[in-house]
Structure 1
Amino acid sequence: MTEHAEAPHDRPDAGLSAIISERRRLTGLAYRLLGSLADAEDVVQETYARWYALSPARQEAIASPGAWLSKVASRICLDVLGSARARRERYVGEWIPEPVPEAGHWISGRPGAAPPDPADRVTLDESVSMAFLVVLESMTPAERVALVLHDVFRYPFAEIAEITGRTPAACRELASSARRRIRASGPPATPAARRATVVRGFRQAMEAGDVDALIGLLDPAAVLTADGGGVVKTALRPLEGGELIAHRCVEIARRVPGVTLLERTVNGQPGLIAQQHGRTVTVYAFDIADDRITRIWAIRNPNKLRPWTAL
């Protein structure tokens, strides 16, 4: 975050360089903090607007444009998180983070950061998983920012303190509190290969209308949460219990013909999408423990399915 003057020939176009090299990483940062790709894109646009509002001399005085952009984006996200809670209280039905396709381009790490510490609690794929994002929703904005910036993007607490307006010690405690919430949310994620096998079994059982097979794949205490946003019809409250979920899934499949289930990577984890007439109408994300499905998130709000329209 240090700023100092540099000779113009050292960085001929700092603004252009920042846009080319930082946009995807900033989008990944804002998405993890907000759980909404649309909101993340808005944050990045506002961040660049503030960059270009600086005079050329002011831009040249910033030693690390990437660090400056990250700091500004994080502060904007804090403001957005403060208002998002009120907006989501007015949301029709359950609010689920916006699902994203293949997670490989959700770049992690601050500019110039050291390699990940083996002790880091959150891996790259875990940091965009639906289960992780849902737990983030239960945190305060400050906890969320402290955890994501430190454990995922490897920012030191001194820099996080600049962003949040708190002390480094307070930020360290916020991150610790956030980790306790994650640990309390359930066991570690099942390896991807085993998750894929379970999800494939779920798809096959759904296609066959095999209630017993679905019951065998679902944890007895499984929960299915759907998000239609008041735009499309869906359950407004979570369904609880593996047997109830199995019967409801088969009932819906029989009532809505012409739906094709496809296996896709959803937020870095094996998932499914449902397509009707070539259009993605539902994205399914799963949480799995001991080879059984414990949580299903069914995102049906078409406003959250924009990244899936071409898949």
Structure 2
Amino acid sequence: MAVQFERDRPRLRAVAYRILGSLSEADDALQDAWLRADRADTTAVENPSGWLTTVVARVCLNMLRARDARREEELDTSDRGPARPSPDPEEEALLTDSVGLALLVVLDTLGPAERLAFVLHDMFDVPFDEIAAMLDKTPAAARQLASRARRRVRGVPAPEADLPRRRRAVDAYLAATRGGDFDALVALLHPDVVLRADAAVVPTPEPFTVTGVARVARGAMASMGRARFADVVLVDGHVGMAMIENGRLRVVLRFAFADDADGGLITGIDLIAEPARLRELELAVPDA
């Protein structure tokens, strides 16, 4: 089994990362899974790879459920405590790119059972009868969980007159922020642009508002580091952005636009970081 575990380690790590969204937590899950596997009697195991996948998935499910319990506590305080350190930020960035940051953002909004069913079936072709055993549900119930998760991941875009242009504008906003291109960012903003941020964004004692192109652009430049882990998503059906930290959704940006007669520039940016407000949003992965 030790030989099999090392042979399967890349796949098992990929499973754990997609379920948990955090490289450090994925590595913790693999360590815990190996300790369980090493103590277990595996003489009757006919499919070692499948059995190891089940062990890793069960460990990840327990971690997701514990995370959900902590998330409830976050609703009562803006103090998240210190961020969980990543073992290798460059490696995590590469893994994030391979999965798709927007998908990781949306996965973080799913319940543990939905997320497990979707990841195992849609990404790793694990049969529903095996998923059902992990969740103590019937195969039909596991299939329904994955289907519900799939619908939430895809979402339904709002009927906007110019969705493609707004998608391009938000793509350009993200590119300018990541690249520190102040002039390109200014070109996307309306002269009367207004940025509103809730108290959890900085954090500050109260929500705050910033007006004017230069001040809003400078504020965006200050988030260059965060922008590396941001992507375009659908926010309540409209084009927006989301940022994650160690696999957890942290900030969502909602954009308002001028009409075509005024150039379709960005007129408003709403930064949302309070856990209760984030919970109310419907996020989805936009079409490529």
TM-score, length basis structure 2:
0.60
Give the SS at the match of 2:229. Answer: strand
What is the letter of the counterpart of residue 20 of structure 2? L
For these two proteins, the number of residue pairs brought into alignment is 225
Contact 1:211–1:247 (CA under 8 A) maintained in structure 2? no
Q: Which runs of 5+ in 2 are unaligned?
A: 159-163, 248-288
- 1:297 paired residue number: 243
- 1:284 paired residue number: 229
- 1:71 paired residue number: 54
- 2:154 paired residue number: 183
Superposed, which structure 2 residues align to 1:43-62 within 5 Å?
43-54=29-40, 58-62=41-45
Contact 2:170–2:241 (CA under 8 A) maintained in structure 1? no
Contact 1:224–1:298 (CA under 8 A) maintained in structure 2? no
Inter-CA distance 27–86: structure 2 relative to 1 (3 Å threshold):
same
- 2:16 paired residue number: 30
Match of 2:182 among 200, 208, 212: 208
Q: Per-residue deviation at 1:48?
A: 0.8
Q: Per-residue deviation at 1:178?
A: 0.9
- 1:154 paired residue number: 125
Inter-CA distance 26–298: structure 2 relative to 1 (3 Å threshold):
closer
> What's the Cα RMSD here?
4.6
Q: Per-residue deviation at 1:68?
A: 0.8
Contact 1:221–1:294 (CA under 8 A) maintained in structure 2? no
Between the aligned partners of 1:185 and 1:225, the Cα distance in structure 2 is 26
Structure 1 segments, 4+ long, off by >6 Å, are 94-99, 194-197, 220-228, 235-241, 243-246
Q: Per-residue deviation at 1:83?
A: 1.2
Inter-CA distance 94–200: structure 2 relative to 1 (3 Å threshold):
farther
- 1:89 paired residue number: 72
Between the aligned partners of 1:71 and 1:60, the Cα distance in structure 2 is 16
Contact 2:232–2:239 (CA under 8 A) maintained in structure 1? yes
- 1:170 paired residue number: 141
| 1:20 matches 2:23 | no
Between the aligned partners of 2:134 and 2:32, the Cα distance in structure 1 is 16
What is the letter of the counterpart of residue 208 of structure 1? F
Deviates most, 244-253 or 79-88 = 244-253
- The C-alpha deviation readout for 1:208-232, integer Å capped at 9, x for no partner, is 356532427xxx999999998xxxx
- 1:250 paired residue number: 218
Between the aligned partners of 2:155 and 2:194, the Cα distance in structure 1 is 17
- 2:105 paired residue number: 134
Contact 1:143–1:177 (CA under 8 A) maintained in structure 2? yes
Contact 2:177–2:220 (CA under 8 A) maintained in structure 1? no
Inter-CA distance 49–285: structure 2 relative to 1 (3 Å threshold):
same
Give the SS at the match of 2:218. Answer: helix
What is the letter of the counterpart of residue 33 of structure 2? T
Give the SS at the match of 1:59. Answer: coil
Inter-CA distance 288–78: structure 2 relative to 1 (3 Å threshold):
closer
Q: Per-residue deviation at 1:163?
A: 1.4
Give the SS at the match of 1:89. Answer: helix
Inter-CA distance 168–299: structure 2 relative to 1 (3 Å threshold):
closer
What is the letter of the counterpart of residue 232 of structure 2? D
Give the SS at the match of 1:287. Answer: strand
What is the letter of the counterpart of residue 44 of structure 2? A
Between the aligned partners of 2:206 and 2:103, the Cα distance in structure 1 is 21
- 1:120 paired residue number: none
